[in-house]
Chains A and B, each alone.
Chain A
């Protein structure tokens, strides 16, 4: 009987222990958030930063970082299916129209008001691009999280070689320096293309040519914006003929193709961020276009970092403009932990957190960081980042952005890489495609 009693007590203790453990586990799960973003350098910085939030709030942070090539597919499908994977999502700026319209993100106006978070504390361009929908209205669906724009990196050490400088000047009549416009970009590309440097054959430029997601559109628009490209009649929304296919737009597209033809390494026909980074870091190209987000990594790189690399803002041709990158952070409407997710946003919006975010390699959009007089000296690319963010332009942020983007990917890749037709024909077809999309969406 005594043995039976002891067994019973032991069993009761075990059940209690297991129950207690399960309760703890459930409680621990309740105190967890999952943040979804792309897998790249700034994501690692954010994970580092998140440790402070956990220490402060006791909420564990989990991360779902997906490579850029699958980023949009993965998370847009997640949103469309009402998935609960992500409590917080740092989604691309172009997603905001669809996510706001279809209720994937929660509206943050009341929360901002309640917590005293002012959008005036963030750079206006970033608020406009990453937070608002409809554009320009004070309806906020995200907090600007990661400012970004397309910039350029060049081999400062190669540019400094006297014999190359001399030869370049003799050939092109201007110094081998940071290009002031796209014509000079091409000169530099041509000059380095196929050149032998330190016994290795190098090439001119790493530009975006990727077909599958958004690559070539981001690259081509960097040129088109500099030529003064506009998506629509500023006085008549969605009126595109004469704007999208303007002579300036066609000239810019033609020029981009000429860069692809003259100055890229062999096999650079499907290249986006990582391919450009690889080409540059391996010493294959003299210059590359890429997002500012990668610049801290390049500046610290063993092979091309330090004094070997210089950075510059997207050069102007007719106007100064840069392709917008970057994202805002949103609370996913299907999350069961919206309150905790909002706590994270409240914490992330703090000035001191934003300062640390920048110091870790993230691009803060907070004015306390950007307007600090010492900001341009904090990194070799900081001043150019400020310049870039002053003139950023983004792709359509409409709910139909994916259709608009895929059409542009096809039309410009067909022209630039596959050599099909002329630049004007490509843009004319793009106007037809986009008109059909807006007609279907009831906007035309």
Chain B
């Protein structure tokens, strides 16, 4: 069903576009080189990226050398040199926030990789109902972090929460105050993040496991390799790129973790779980120290960018 003559329908798309292009435009385009045309096509995207990514970054770097405060529109912006950076690096509290962040990132990665890989190996056995359980395991990942943080505060409630109740089934220690205790609060956020994001690691590991050709295991069987040897010499190297990719994604996400922790602990008790992003938000949008918080943002950016680059290089080596 076409209103075009049958001879025309056999034309290529390029021919039809060429015919439909007005003569004046054709003249103009004919005068351009291939490179110029390529630039013409990609320039909107480049402009968009410059506007929403590069410009804010450059602007943040500029602001980090000033005393600018976003809540004082009329006040002159003074250049303060490296003062914001000196203050930040000389502030022992900042090191505390970075330490809290590192504790959170490292432990969530270690635990999630261990549990995620174990779950993937289990699910990969294709037992009856494996698909159903895969879906069930993925549910936490589909929830909003803010919602997860809020409802876990109820689960952690020392007197009425189920967490304390379950602990007391095994050890009668009385109400367990996960959020209010300095020792337990860092673990409370690690547990919740693990509950929520282990499925993600599992999913990537599962993709890796499913990509391993069966003949490798058959060859190993012929060579009389045991289960551990098959895992160590075939499975692990084959899924390592997937695993490292999962760790990279989760590591970056957790480095800037905010909503779940705010809902769960507000950074407390004291500053025990005040991860870098919470402090950054407080400095930028509660204290309105825009220049100072820009400097902190730049430091965090450089840290994540640097670590990310090192990690990607390691990932590429593993792939090779």
CB within 8 Å of B: which residues of A? 73, 76-77, 80, 98, 102, 210-212, 265-270, 402-403, 406, 410, 413-415, 417-420, 440
Contact = CB atoms under 8 A, between A and B. Distances in A.
A410 B286 CA distance: 13
Interface string B273-291: 0000000001001111100
A268 to B, nearest CB: 7
Contacts of B67: 440
A270 B181 CA distance: 11
Contact of B71 (A80, A268, A440): A80
Contacts of A403: 287-289
A269 B269 contact: yes
B149 interface: no
29 contacts: A76-B71, A80-B70, A102-B71, A102-B72, A102-B73, A211-B268, A211-B269, A212-B266, A265-B159, A266-B174, A267-B157, A267-B159, A267-B177, A270-B268, A402-B287, A402-B288, A403-B287, A406-B286, A406-B287, A410-B271, A413-B269, A413-B270, A417-B268, A417-B269, A417-B270, A418-B182, A418-B271, A419-B270, A440-B67
B108 interface: no
B208 interface: no
B180 interface: yes
A400 to B, nearest CB: 8
Contact of A211 (B182, B266, B285): B266
Nearest to A104: B71
Main secondary structure of the interface of B (DSSP, over half): loop
Given A414-B270, A418-B270, A270 B180 contact: yes
Nearest to A269: B180
B177 A269 contact: yes
Interface in B64-114: 67, 70-74, 93
Nearest to B182: A418
A77 B159 CA distance: 37
Contacts of A102: 71-74
B15 to A, nearest CB: 48
Interface string B254-270: 00000000100111111
Given A417-B180, A419-B182, 19 more contacts: A73-B286, A77-B285, A210-B266, A266-B174, A267-B156, A267-B157, A267-B179, A267-B180, A269-B177, A269-B179, A270-B265, A270-B266, A413-B270, A414-B271, A415-B270, A417-B268, A417-B270, A418-B271, A440-B67
A284 B286 CA distance: 34
Interface size on B, as a range, is: 20 to 34
Contacts of A402: 286-288
A424 to B, nearest CB: 16
- Nearest 10 Cβ contacts at the A-B interface: A418-B270, A269-B180, A414-B270, A266-B175, A266-B158, A211-B268, A267-B158, A212-B266, A417-B269, A403-B287
B272 interface: yes
Contacts of A266: 158-159, 174-175, 177, 180
B217 to A, nearest CB: 51
A413 B179 CA distance: 14
B130 to A, nearest CB: 39
Interface string B169-204: 000001101011010000000000000000000000
A102 B288 CA distance: 13
Given A267-B157, A267-B158, A418 B266 contact: no
Contacts of A418: 182, 268-272
A403 B90 CA distance: 19
Nearest to B69: A440
A420 B269 CA distance: 10
A92 to B, nearest CB: 14
Contacts of B262: 212
Contacts of A440: 67, 289
A398 to B, nearest CB: 13
A267 B176 CA distance: 8
Interface string B30-74: 000000000000000000000000000000000000010011111
A430 to B, nearest CB: 13
A411 B71 CA distance: 24
Interface in B125-162: 156-159
Nearest to B156: A267
Contacts of B174: 266
